[in-house]
Structure 1
Amino acid sequence: MYKKPKGNRMKVSCQPIIIALAIACSACDSDTQGEKLMQPPLKPGQVLDPDSMYAKTWPGRPALVKLKDNLILAIPPQHHRFWAHRHWLTGRDTSFRPPMELDKLPYAKLAGFTMHLPDFEGYTPDNYRKDFDENRVEIAYISPAPMSYMEPGAPGSYPPNSLGRRIQYKLINDPSRYEEKFGLRCYEQQERDGDRQICYGKRDSDFDEYLILDIMVPPYEKHHIFPMMTTKYFSPKYGGLEIVWRSHMNNFPRWREIDAQIWKYIDAWNIAPSDAPVASPTTPTTP
């Protein structure tokens, strides 16, 4: 049975997103066909154009994504591209949504969502059509990954192992030389002209977790019209997850805040039963 997201797991200081999530949670209080639908996030006094794609396809319910038995995400519609999640021929919504029962959800290989700075809001009628939005943070995917990634020298995206391989295969010019940038050690990439760096550092002090952030270095070449920072790393949370997110380089000073907010959302949107086992099928399948 679908149940509302655990909103008390997240504490966010930004008032607009608190309001948005409060709407999301209140809309999930009922799992009946007659439940109250979530309303689109509008600014005070804003009127939604009924002819817009945003209005025509607004689902009013979160997307349900089952990554593991202990991680089932109820992603608010404004945090994913709901207007594009339609069948190419029929136009039918292809996402799973309430009141679908959780035990009938198929396992998914991955999940993703989007948020926008400065307040970590989702897509709005004002920004959903922007192809290049410097305020956008794309969580390209969250995917189950084996805990064996943490073994010394193991393949995979566990940051200490990833950094070791980059040094071993000389993808870093000189590991003894680095710059300190916003709490990270940034190394110059091999065979580059100083326009890219590999940054490494602790992302979560409470759990002693690290990340590698690949960044572009100004001044940018003319063909780099949208310079980005990207990270891909493994975390042992929820029994093992791999996560990839990216954003414009203008947001580099806020990398730690961005990363922390991603995990706050994951925790807040998780509606899996509290007694669910950590183990999941080895090869989850997408619908």
Structure 2
Amino acid sequence: PSYQDSTKDSNFDMVEAKRWSEQYGVNCWFFSKTKSLRCYGQSSHEKSMGILFKHMGGEGNWIFAESWEPLYGGITIRWNIDKRNFHRWKDVDAAIWRLLETWNVSSLHKNIEEN
């Protein structure tokens, strides 16, 4: 079988993934069987490891975001965004980092130097 034949039976819809990737500036994989989407986006914060996004498909509008960061002694950041507002994910990410830096009681620089 050729590569073209194997992509017809693939569980991944690369056209849909490419559309999301181009539209929102993330790298995506669209799983056809469950109509779910997984994406990776690079945070605007210079020390962030990036964000994983999940959209479970169907009629639901929520996209779930999660990242684990070694900063501040190690934190997991989870948030949700309506898919109609996904074009603003970078604004949400920037606001989260701004608030974390405002609320933090330990020194970010001290934690980074220790690791």
| TM-score, normalization by structure 1 | 0.29
Q: 1:234 to 1:255 in 2, by over 3 A?
A: same
1:216 to partner: Cα distance: 5.3
Aligned to 1:239: 73
Match of 2:51 among 203, 211, 215: 211
Rg (Cα) greater in structure: 1
Q: Equivalent residue for 2:42?
A: 202
Q: Name the structure with the higher helix share.
A: 2
The structure where strand makes up a greater share of residues is 2
- Matched with 1:98 is none
1:107-138 deviation digits (Å, cap 9, x = unpaired): xxxxxxxxxxxxxxxxxxxxxxxxxxxxxxxx
Query: Which residue identity does 2:80 align to in structure 1?
Result: R
2:88 equivalent among 241, 251, 254: 254
Contact 2:45 2:94 in 1 (8 A): no
Q: Percent identity?
A: 26
> 1:266, 1:257 → 2: CA distance?
14
Shift of 1:201: 2.4
Shift of 1:190: 5.4
Q: Which amino acid aligns with 1:240?
A: G
Count, aligned residues: 96
Cα separation, 2, equivalents of 1:273 and 1:200: 29
Deviations 1:78-121 (A, max 9, x none): xxxxxxxxxxxxxxxxxxxxxxxxxxxxxxxxxxxxxxxxxxxx
Residue 69 of structure 2 aligns with an amino acid whose one-letter code is S
TM-score computed with the length of structure 2 as normaliser: 0.66
Question: 1:186 maps to which residue?
Answer: 28
Q: Is there any run of 5+ residues in structure 1 with no aligned partner, and where?
A: 1-171, 279-287
Q: 1:173, 1:187 within 8 Å by CA — same for their partners in 2? A: no
Runs of 4+ deviating beyond 3 Å: 172-175
Return the letter of the residue paired with 2:37.
Q
Unaligned 5+ runs, structure 2: 1-9
Within a 5 Å distance, the mapping from 1:96-175 to structure 2 comes to 173-174=11-12
Q: Is the alpha carbon distance of 1:191 and 1:262 closer, same or farther for their aligned partners in structure 2, counting shifts above 3 Å?
A: same
Greater relative contact order, per chain length (Cα 8 Å cut-off, separation 6+): 1
Q: Residue 258 of structure 1: CA displacement?
A: 0.3
Structure 1 residue 209, shift from structure 2 partner: 2.2
Q: 1:234 to 1:250 in 2, by over 3 A?
A: same
SS of match in other structure, 2:99: helix
Give a deviation string over 1:126-173, Cα, whole Å, max 9, x none: xxxxxxxxxxxxxxxxxxxxxxxxxxxxxxxxxxxxxxxxxxxxxx93
The answer (yes or no) to whether the contact 1:186–1:197 under 8 Å persists in 2 is yes
Compared with structure 1, are the counterparts of its residues 266 and 191 closer, same or farther at alpha carbon in structure 2 (3 Å cutoff)?
Answer: same
